[in-house]
Amino acid sequence: MAIQQSQKPLELILARNLLTSVSTPAFLLDAESAVVFYNEAAGALLGRPFEDSGRMSAAQWTGAFGPFDGDGTPVEVDSLAVTDAIRAGRPAHGTFEIRAADGERTAVEASAFPIVASPNGASGAMVLFWPLDRNEPTR
Amino acid sequence: MILKVWGARGSVPAPGPRMNRYGGNTSCLQLSLPNGEELILDAGTGIRNLGLELAGRRRIHILLTHLHLDHIQGLMFFPPCFRAEVEIVIWGPASPEASLEERIARYISAPLSPVEVRELPCSVSFRDTPASEWELGGATIRAESVTHRGPTLGYRIACGETTIAYVPDHEPALGAPLAGLEPEWISGFDLARDVDLLVHDCQYGDEEYPEHVGWGHSRLSDTLTFAQRVGARRLLLFHHDPLHSDERLDELGVDARRSWRALGRDASEIEMAAEGAGVEVEPAVPAMHA
Ligand SMILES: [Zn+2]
Ligand SMILES: [Zn+2]
């Protein structure tokens, strides 16, 4: 009874359903830190809907959208809060800049929390973006 | 494989003169394999009558989808439980909170029950369903979590060339547009992919669903879309709402066949589950090659 093992774990399916329904820009990552979904609000922030992006590996994502530090230097995937969140199975919070499809950079605060449903570790993470008002000092 | 329906009702038993044809007992199916082995799917009140027919059986496997009362209520009144020579193995979803036995014992214990699990004369054991597929009585079984309220499994059971899926409590369309979504994002898709028979939740008519979004069950159109998407060859509509009389279920069956035809399918592929009915499940005829 060979079945393709393509289906996402239920907790990721439910997380996607939730993110679809909220107006906070939000991303869903799988266990390999690939972006497997982002919602309409995130699409508006990036200037590109998820339907046009599809699944993006961590490298594809950082190449296209960042993040960058305050000086505009690209931030390594391995040093991202969300990478920690998935690997260590704990939440993380960070501030950085992303670059939208039109090249404009936006400062965001990001909260990442792992999605853990089995003893084998996180099956992914949800990342919520909070765009910062440029006039507001970075917290 | 032959599947016999011993209880097709969802939520709560619904006996009464207006329920006689489809029956009032809750979820229980008996799956008879070609090698003479049998599997019981869920232990709603329908299992009591089934137990009366299993007089000679020494070893019984029960696969539970979840522990909502409509899927376990019959256990305490299952006649084989009271025969010392019988061995019963109960399979169900794992939980980080308590063992399967502890969770079922909340029901089979005082003050809800006159007997405790440890007092049952039969030899009963409880097993968490494995994360990967396993063999049972000559069948290959796979259990996966599906969208419902609380931890809930669906089952895929294959024996020889024949495969069925049993997903009695399922709301795959909750927050997810089933028609356009990629298969990997649809709850239960792999369980039900290309099965010869899909037994699936169809608790609500479409007009009833808006009041029940998030209750863990499907409306007719979502059940049909799901069945169509997964490529099920036949569909048995199951887990009837306790408010639905025979007349209402007849109407739902007419709607179902009409909509199924509109999807380009044959109306004979759909049936409403009725207590006492048997379904012979056969493998797909292999495609002819020119
Ligand atoms: Zn149920
Ligand atoms: Zn249920």
pLDDT digits (tens, 9 = 90+) for B186-223: 999 999 999 999 999 999 999 999 999 999 999 999 99
With respect to residue A84, please indicate whether it lies within any of the assigned structural domains: yes
With respect to residue A21, please indicate whether it lies within any of the assigned structural domains: yes
pLDDT value at residue A90: 87
Helix (H, G, I), strand (E, B) or coil at A116: strand
CATH architecture for residues B2-276: 4-Layer Sandwich (3.60)
Q: Kindly identify which residue of chain A lies nearest to residue B157, measuring between CA atoms.
A: A1
Mutate to test the interface with A, among B145, B147, B196 (most CBs of A within 10 A): B145
Cα separation, A38 vs A100, whole angstroms: 14
B144/A4 Cβ within 8 A: no
- Rounded to a whole number, what is the distance in angstroms from the first to the last CA of chain A? 54
With respect to residue A25, please indicate whether it lies within any of the assigned structural domains: yes
pLDDT value at residue A134: 56
Q: Which residues of B touch A1 (CB under 8 A)?
A: 133, 140, 142, 156, 158, 163
B48 CB burial (10 A radius; 0-12, 13-18, 19+): buried
With respect to residue A1, please indicate whether it lies within any of the assigned structural domains: no
> Between chain A and chain B, how many beta carbons pairs sit less than 8 Å apart?
47
Beta bridge partners of B254: none
Question: CB-based contact (8 Å) between B184 and chain A?
Answer: yes
With respect to residue A101, please indicate whether it lies within any of the assigned structural domains: yes
Q: Which domain holds residue A62?
A: 10-131
Cα separation, A132 vs A125, whole angstroms: 22
The overall average pLDDT reported for chain B is 95
Q: How confident is the model at residue B290 (pLDDT cuts 50, 70, 90)?
A: very low
In this complex, the residue of B133, B184, B186 whose CB is nearest that of residue A1 is: B133
CATH number at A53 reads 3.30.450.20
pLDDT value at residue A19: 95
- What is the ipTM metric for this complex? 0.80
B208 CB burial (10 A radius; 0-12, 13-18, 19+): middle
In this complex, the residue of A6, A9, A20 whose CB is nearest that of residue B183 is: A6
Mean pLDDT to the nearest integer, B156-167: 97
With respect to residue A2, please indicate whether it lies within any of the assigned structural domains: no
What are B244-278's pLDDT values in tens digits? Answer: 999 999 999 999 999 999 999 999 999 999 999 99
Q: Kindly identify which residue of chain A lies nearest to residue B190, measuring between CA atoms.
A: A7
How long a stretch of residues is chain A? Answer: 139
Mean pLDDT to the nearest integer, B41-67: 96
Query: Has residue B79 got a pLDDT over 60?
Result: yes
Q: How confident is the model at residue B98 (pLDDT cuts 50, 70, 90)?
A: very high
Instruction: State how many domains chain A has.
Output: 1
**pTM for this predicted structure:** 0.90
Percentage of chain B beyond pLDDT 70 is: 98
Q: How confident is the model at residue B114 (pLDDT cuts 50, 70, 90)?
A: very high
pLDDT value at residue A136: 56
What are A24-76's pLDDT values in tens digits? Answer: 999 999 988 899 999 999 999 999 999 999 999 988 988 889 888 778 788 88
pLDDT value at residue B18: 97
Let me know: does B117 contact B101? Beta carbons within 8 Å: yes
Q: How many CB atoms lie within 10 A of CB B235?
A: 26
Instruction: For tokens 């025979």, name the residue.
Output: B246
Q: How confident is the model at residue B286 (pLDDT cuts 50, 70, 90)?
A: low
Cα separation, B72 vs B67, whole angstroms: 6
What are B132-148's pLDDT values in tens digits? Answer: 999 999 999 999 999 99
Mean pLDDT to the nearest integer, B109-120: 94
Which residue from A118, A84, A81 is spatially nearest to A96, judged by alpha carbons?
Answer: A81
Question: In angstroms, how far is CA B223 from the centroid of its own chain?
Answer: 14
What are A86-137's pLDDT values in tens digits? Answer: 778 889 888 888 999 998 889 999 999 999 988 888 899 999 999 997 555 5
pLDDT value at residue A3: 43
Q: How confident is the model at residue A4 (pLDDT cuts 50, 70, 90)?
A: very low
Q: Which residue has better confidence, B286 or B255?
A: B255
Cα separation, B264 vs A41, whole angstroms: 37
pLDDT value at residue A135: 53
**Interhelix angle for B220-230 vs B246-262, to 10°?**
40
Q: What are phi and psi of B69, to 5 degrees?
A: -55, -35
Query: Has residue A2 got a pLDDT over 50?
Result: no
Cα separation, A128 vs A42, whole angstroms: 9
Q: How many CB atoms lie within 10 A of CB B187?
A: 30
A5/B175 Cβ within 8 A: no
Contacts of B53 (CB under 8 A, 6+ apart): none
With respect to residue A69, please indicate whether it lies within any of the assigned structural domains: yes
